[in-house]
């Protein structure tokens, strides 16, 4: 009669179980990367201008800044002068891209039939292009 101890099969099962536990982990998530922006924030988030008004009444000045993951400490990064600005309605709105001159300044040249989307794009710290949007109403 063979009287092998029952725990013999455990010596093969136990290392396999340990490998699975180490590989899978405890189900937690990695901490967020607080050094890399995920998107661009734009202030103001919406603006209104009158195309018939004299400057600056026909303009809205937008600024962009880096937005980091929500789990990171709240940090308002510096204004980004390197962003490229565009608008969804180029027939009724222009926007400047010259640093220290008109960067982010939207000008209503006509009344726009709806809300105009203002978009800022630029690279994050890893070179990935990120963007953000705001809304503009031109009366």
For the segment 108-135, the average pLDDT, to the nearest whole number, is 97
d(CA 66, CA 83): 11
Using DSSP's 3-state secondary structure scheme, residue 113 falls into: coil
Q: Which residue carries 């390197």 as its tokens? A: 82
Q: What is the pLDDT of residues 34-43, one digit of tens each?
A: 889 999 999 9
Q: 85 lies in a domain?
A: yes
Q: 30 lies in a domain?
A: no
Q: What pLDDT band is residue 93 in, cutting at 50, 70 and 90?
A: very high
Q: 75 lies in a domain?
A: yes
Q: 81 lies in a domain?
A: yes
Structure tokens at 119: 């978009």
Domain span at residue 46?
A: 39-138
- Residue 17's pLDDT is 45
Q: 64 lies in a domain?
A: yes
Q: 54 lies in a domain?
A: yes
Are 66 and 77 in contact by the 8 Å Cβ rule? The answer is: yes
d(CA 129, CA 106): 22
For the segment 12-40, the average pLDDT, to the nearest whole number, is 65
Q: How many domains does the chain have?
A: 1
Contacts (Cβ under 8 Å, ≥6 apart) of 58? 49, 50, 51, 52, 107, 108, 109
Q: 46 lies in a domain?
A: yes
Q: 62 lies in a domain?
A: yes
Rg (CA), the chain: 27
Give, in degrees to the nearest 5, the angle at Cα 59 between 131 and 102: 60
Q: For residue 99, give the CATH number of its domain.
A: 2.60.40.1080
């Amino acid at each position: 009669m063979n009287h092998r101890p029952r725990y013999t099969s455990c010596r093969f099962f136990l290392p396999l179980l340990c490998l699975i536990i180490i590989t899978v982990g405890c189900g937690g998530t990695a901490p967020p990367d607080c050094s890399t922006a995920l998107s661009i924030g734009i202030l103001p988030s919406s603006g209104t201008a009158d195309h018939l008004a004299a400057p600056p009444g026909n303009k809205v000045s937008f600024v962009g800044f880096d937005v980091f993951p929500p789990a990171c400490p709240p940090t308002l990064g510096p204004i980004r002068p390197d962003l490229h600005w565009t608008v969804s309605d180029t027939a009724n709105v222009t926007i400047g891209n010259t640093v220290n001159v008109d960067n982010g300044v939207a000008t209503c040249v006509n009344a726009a039939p709806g809300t105009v989307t203002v978009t800022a794009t630029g690279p994050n710290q890893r070179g990935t292009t990120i963007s953000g949007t705001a809304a503009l109403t031109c009366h």
